[in-house]
């Protein structure tokens, strides 16, 4: 007689690659021609890294983040950053309850899994700095009490180019806490034609279905953590980071006096994690040099501060990054 089936047998894990493809498909229903942007958002989501999106208005930055929130079964909050926004509007404050003669905590919109900080550089530094503790420590202090934020917790911020009127440059300490800074560019002609046709249709409705849960995200993070990266490539990451600090040591004399501050140690960690995520999204369990190069610019471009003289001479951060990627060798 056959033994009875074990009711406590473990169920197979979900097919995460298939779920990720569904995420891309659902996002594609609304966000057209921004596959790289969607991929970067997923890299941040799956590695716990905050993302900063920069581009002129009208490039679907906010739409991409809000659509991603609909694809996730997570608590989502959007905060529109304006010049009159206060830190308490973001993290919360103490309110006096007259009936009970006690102070009560009113939590702000930062208490969510996914927080969209829309046009973050429209608010002054004191509001931007209110995000620091939440982004780095995953906690918020209101009054004398510290509150842990829910997991997962991710800040997806959008900003307009700093040259636009009414913007405030983000403090260096906060910028460094963003894992990636993604420049969102204009669409190709065919993609913009499709966007125009969809949005001009007054009967068009967003029909996006939720795909991933918090448990799925945790499972994907565990699989990404198991992606292998060789010691050679780990050393390559370190060489790239050091080249942003002292380009003259890497036979880049044109940039010898251009760098005021190079990438911080957070850049090494971010590039390591992001390269693993790129490999995972490509269906591999090991990292290739191309994975590192693919995401290096988004890791570096907001962490390198050029000198005033370099900017006056027309040297761009992107020029330095491209020179570093073309010059630094991969050696054992």
Determine contact, residues 266/136, Cβ cutoff 8 Å. Answer: no
**Residue 266: is its pLDDT beyond 90?**
yes
Task: Please tell me whether residues 208 and 232 are part of one structural domain.
Answer: no
- Cα separation of 285 and 294, whole Å? 17
Q: pTM for the whole thing?
A: 0.88
Apex 213 CA angle, 208 and 214, nearest 5: 140
- Cα separation of 132 and 89, whole Å? 15
Determine contact, residues 32/197, Cβ cutoff 8 Å. Answer: no
Task: Please tell me whether residues 60 and 195 are part of one structural domain.
Answer: yes
Asked which of 216, 246, 268 is the last residue of a domain, the reply is 216
Give the domain CATH number at 264: 1.10.8.80
Number of structural domains the chain divides into: 2
Identify the residue with better confidence: 176 or 100.
Answer: 176
Q: Is residue 8 part of a domain?
A: no
Query: What is the number of other CB atoms lying within 10 angstroms of the CB of residue 178?
Result: 26
How do beta strands 305-306 and 259-261 pair?
Answer: antiparallel
Give the tens place of pLDDT for each residue, 182-218.
Answer: 998 888 999 889 888 888 887 777 788 999 998 999 9
pLDDT at 277: 97
Task: Please tell me whether residues 35 and 54 are part of one structural domain.
Answer: yes
pLDDT (mean) for 89-112: 85
Structural domain boundaries, residue 274: 226-327
Which pLDDT band holds residue 163 (cuts at 50, 70, 90)? low
pLDDT at 164: 60
What are the Cα distances from residue 288, in Å, to 47, 66, 131, 241?
Answer: 18, 32, 34, 17
- Cα separation of 311 and 331, whole Å? 32
């Amino acid at each position: 007689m056959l033994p009875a089936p074990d009711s406590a047998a473990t169920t197979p894990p979900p097919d995460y690659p298939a779920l990720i493809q569904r995420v891309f498909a659902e996002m594609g229903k609304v966000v057209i021609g921004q596959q790289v942007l969607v991929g970067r958002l997923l890299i941040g989501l799956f590695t716990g890294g905050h993302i900063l999106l920069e581009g002129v208005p009208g490039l679907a930055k906010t739409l991409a983040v809000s659509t991603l929130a609909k694809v996730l079964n997570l608590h989502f909050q959007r905060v529109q950053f304006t010049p009159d926004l206060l830190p308490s509007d973001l993290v919360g404050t103490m309110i006096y309850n007259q009936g009970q003669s006690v102070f009560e905590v009113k939590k702000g919109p930062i208490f969510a899994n996914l927080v969209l900080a829309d046009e973050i550089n429209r608010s002054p530094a004191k509001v931007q700095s209110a995000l620091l503790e939440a982004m780095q420590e995953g906690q918020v202090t209101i009054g004398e009490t510290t509150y842990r934020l829910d997991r997962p917790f991710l800040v997806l911020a959008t900003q307009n180019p700093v040259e636009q009127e009414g913007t405030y440059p983000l403090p260096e300490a906060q910028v460094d806490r963003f894992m990636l800074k993604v420049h969102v560019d204009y669409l190709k002609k065919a993609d913009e034609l499709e966007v125009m046709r969809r949005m001009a249709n007054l009967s068009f409705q967003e029909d996006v279905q939720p795909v991933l849960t918090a448990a799925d995200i945790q499972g994907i993070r565990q699989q990404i953590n198991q992606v292998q990266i060789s010691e050679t490539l780990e050393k390559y990451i370190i060489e790239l980071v050091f080249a942003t600090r002292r380009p003259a040591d890497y036979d880049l004399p044109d940039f010898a006096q251009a760098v005021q501050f190079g990438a911080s140690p957070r850049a090494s960690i971010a590039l390591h994690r992001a390269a693993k995520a790129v490999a995972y999204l490509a269906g591999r369990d090991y990292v290739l040099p191309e994975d590192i190069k693919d995401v290096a610019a988004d890791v570096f471009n907001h962490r390198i501060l050029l000198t005033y003289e370099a900017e006056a001479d027309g040297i761009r951060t992107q020029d330095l990054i491209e020179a570093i990627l073309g010059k630094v060798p991969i050696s054992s």
